[in-house]
């Protein structure tokens, strides 16, 4: 399965707001999961990084990772953090601060998604 930048060989994809929309990205991941499950696809050919041998497991990991980060962002907002930078410092505290600018793009996309779905 050729995934381009939707699934990478290493790490996870940054959904870069404002061009990237989390809902669209999640829909793409769900389609990839369905393809892998329904057609027995095993190999992922990402746009970057090594070929991956467990398509379904990889896509499931991406979906779980996104759900976890989204829940963390939602909790951070419920705790009173409002700006994307505040949310990044809290949610991505375990990530190298050099990556925080990219994480902020993702947080902006997550905040938009949560707002559109009435979750914040």
* Residue 64 to residues 15, 18, 29, 34, 98, Cα–Cα distance (Å): 15, 23, 11, 15, 24
pLDDT tens for 44-53 read 999 999 999 9
DSSP for the chain reads -EEETSS-SSS-----TTT--HHHHHHHHHHHHHHHHHHT---BEESSS--BS-HHHHHHHHHHHHHHHHHHHHHHHHTT--SHHHHHHHHTTTS-GGGHHHHHHHHHHHHHHHHHTT--
In the chain, the number of structural domains is: 1
Residue 64's domain comprises 2-116
pLDDT at residue 11, rounded to an integer: 87
Residues in the chain with pLDDT values less than 50: none
Return the CATH number at 21: 3.60.15.10
What distance, in Å, lies between the first and last C-alpha atoms of the chain? Answer: 35
pLDDT tens for 61-76 read 999 999 999 999 999 9
Residue 99 DSSP one-character state: G
Report if pTM > 0.85: yes
Residue 46 DSSP one-character state: E
């Amino acid at each position: 399965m050729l995934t381009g930048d939707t699934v990478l060989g290493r790490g996870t994809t940054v959904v870069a707001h404002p061009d990237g929309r989390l809902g669209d990205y999640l829909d793409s991941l769900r389609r990839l999961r369905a393809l892998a499950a329904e057609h027995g696809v095993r190999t992922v050919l990402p746009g970057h990084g090594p070929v991956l041998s467990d398509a379904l497991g990889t896509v499931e990991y991406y979906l779980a990772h996104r759900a976890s980060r989204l829940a963390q962002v939602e909790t951070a907002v419920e705790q009173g953090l409002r700006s994307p930078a505040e949310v990044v410092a809290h949610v991505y505290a375990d990530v190298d601060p050099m990556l925080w600018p990219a994480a902020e793009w993702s947080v902006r996309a997550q905040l938009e998604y949560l707002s559109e779905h009435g979750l914040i």
